[in-house]
Amino acid sequence: MRSLLQLMLLSILSISSVQAELLDFKPDSLPSLVERHAGEHFLLFVWSIDCPACKNDLANLSKLKQEVPNNRIILLNSDGELSSEKVAQAIAEFGLQDLENWKFADSATARLRYKLDQNWAGELPRSYFYAADGSRRAFSGSLNADRLKAWLLREQQR
């Protein structure tokens, strides 16, 4: 019995220690990100470690990722000054390390925000809903989990 508990604990620890692969988001990254997903719908979710609403949304995205197979959720952390290790640790806390994960590559966050969206003032969380035709719709504030699930399912059927 004791060895079974030790094995279970070891399994849990090894799963939670998997680090997210973080891609560097630089001033020229958005076109390649969009091109990489050409013909697909996806959600680009911009978040920060210090944003309580972002954490709530990350928890919802974690649940949603299990409910909607083949979802296309991409995370972008906007904390340019934080180490990749801290960002990866936060992603792992929500079990989202298997998603496509990006991080602002440097502390010039205003410049990177502008390259992402000239109309964005930096409020978080920020979401971009990309349709398969490449059009996008931006939204600032917390995501409604039911609406997001409905959007992902609807887009999958197109």
Q: Phi, psi (5° rounding) for residue 128?
A: -125, 120
pLDDT, averaged in runs of 10, over the chain (158 residues): 45 55 96 96 97 97 91 95 93 97 95 96 97 95 93 86
Report the number of distinct structural domains present in the chain. 1
| Residue 40 lies in domain | 19-157
**pLDDT given at position 11:** 42
* Torsion on CA atoms 72, 138, 114, 88, rounded to nearest 10: -40
**pLDDT given at position 2:** 52
**pLDDT given at position 64:** 94
pTM (2 d.p.): 0.87
68 assigned to some structural domain: yes
**pLDDT given at position 16:** 47
Name the token pair of 5: 């508990």
107 assigned to some structural domain: yes
> Residue 85 is part of a domain; what is its CATH number?
3.40.30.10
